[in-house]
Amino acid sequence: MKNPYLPELARIINFRDETPDTRTFEIEPISNDEIRGMPGQFVEVMVFGYGEAPFSISGIRNHPIELTVRRIGTVTNALFKLSQGDIVGVRGPFGRGWPLEKLFNKNILIIAGGIGLAPLRPLIHFIINNRYRFGNVDLLYGARTPELLLYKDELERWSREINVHLTVDKPEPEWRGRVGVVTILFDEIDIDPSSTIALQCGPPIMMHFVTRKLRELGFSDNNIYLSLERLMKCGMGMCGKCTVSGTYVCLNGPVFQCREIRGFIERVPEIGE
């Protein structure tokens, strides 16, 4: 059996800047094996000489997988110094992604904050590619500034297939859209909580308020899903760093049904009452 601690060597095929501090990398194993990720799963990327960090998969349409990375620590700073053709290591994919089978024939409400749109992007691609299998689809997306919105050109294209609602905390002069936290966008949508599944990813404080709002609107905890960010060091349910109330986020998450989280005895800030 393959040693799951050893990364597979992979090449950076391409990259593009999304924002001043965020970049999307296309990565492909040099063995030409496919990394078969599902929307919402994550991989561990080893930047040789620096270390390893978990990243959610932000694109699985093509042969190379895509990872949208914010430059924030040692590993990501080192990753940003690499160029086309450079080698990294990849382990995974790991974890449980978005519950695709529960979404068919439902209305979909996606709520994202900042870099939190990255793990939702493969789901949005999946929905758009199978558009007839879903009812109304709304995306509520907020970023700190217009400049920090991810996938700007795609947002435009997505808006032809799904309803895209945007807001920023701090507008720039040319910004014509909404200003404020992502929950203000709820006034733009008309949803039936009983036939809608809500899926969210963003900073804990955002998810906290979004979850609260969803419950106010009458959403049951069964129809709310969240992707939790925790320190998934090994990715395999051993190192213990990602556990929440004893549950391994790397094995049983990162996507959880709100009801599962509600059953935890340890407080989870993302749904805190």
Partner 1 sequence: MSISGVKLLRSYLITKSNLYELLERISERNKLYAPLRHGDQVVLDLAKSINDILIDYIGHSTLPLKKILIPPREILYEYWIEKKSVTINDNLDKIASERIVIFGIRACDIKSIEILDKVFLREFHDPYYKKRRENTVIIGLTCVSPDKNCFCYFTRSGPEITSGYDLLLTKINEHYLVDVGSEKGESIIISNKELFSDATPESLEVKARIVKETIIKIKDKNDLPFFNEVYDQLVKRFDSREWKEISSLCLSCGKCNFVCPTCTCFDIIDEFDPIRNRGKRIRVWDSCHFLSFTRVASGEIFRKDRSSRIKQRIYHKIVYSVNDIGTISCTGCGRCIEVCPVGIDIREIVRNLAR
- Judged by the rule CB under 8 A, the positions of this chain that interact with partner 1 are 1, 3-7, 9, 46, 48-53, 70, 72-73, 76, 85-87, 89, 203-204, 229-231, 233-234, 236-241, 243-248, 251, 265-267, 269
Output DSSP code: residue 7. P
> Minimum distance between the CB of residue 122 and partner 1, rounded to whole angstroms?
20
CA separation for the pair 29, 13 (Å, rounded): 10
CA 34 to chain centre: 21
Which C-beta is closer to partner 1: that of 27 or that of 103?
27
For partner 1, the closer CB: 69 or 109:
69
Cβ-contact 224, 200 below 8 angstroms: yes
Q: For partner 1, which is the closer residue by CB, 91 or 165?
A: 91
**Minimum distance from CB of 221 to partner 1 (Å)?**
19
Instruction: Identify which of residues 1 and 174 has a Cβ nearer to partner 1 in the complex.
Output: 1
Nearer to partner 1, 49 or 173 (CB): 49
What is the DSSP pairing of strand 51-59 with strand 65-70?
Answer: antiparallel
Asked if residue 239 lies in contact with residue 251, where contact means CB atoms within 8 angstroms, the answer is: no
Which tokens sit at 262? 């509600």
The nearest distance, CB 46 to partner 1, in angstroms, is: 8
Cα–chain-centroid distance for residue 101? Answer: 18
Question: Min. distance of Cβ 54 from partner 1 in angstroms?
Answer: 9
Contacts of residue 21, Cβ cutoff 8 Å, sequence gap at least 6: 70, 71, 72
Q: Which is nearer to partner 1, 46 or 198 (CB)?
A: 46
* φ, ψ (nearest 5 deg) of residue 143: -140, 170
* Distance of closest approach, residue 59 Cβ to partner 1, in angstroms: 20
Instruction: Tell me the backbone φ, ψ of residue 68, rounded to 5 degrees.
Output: -100, 120
- For residue 67, the minimal CB distance to partner 1 (Å) is 13
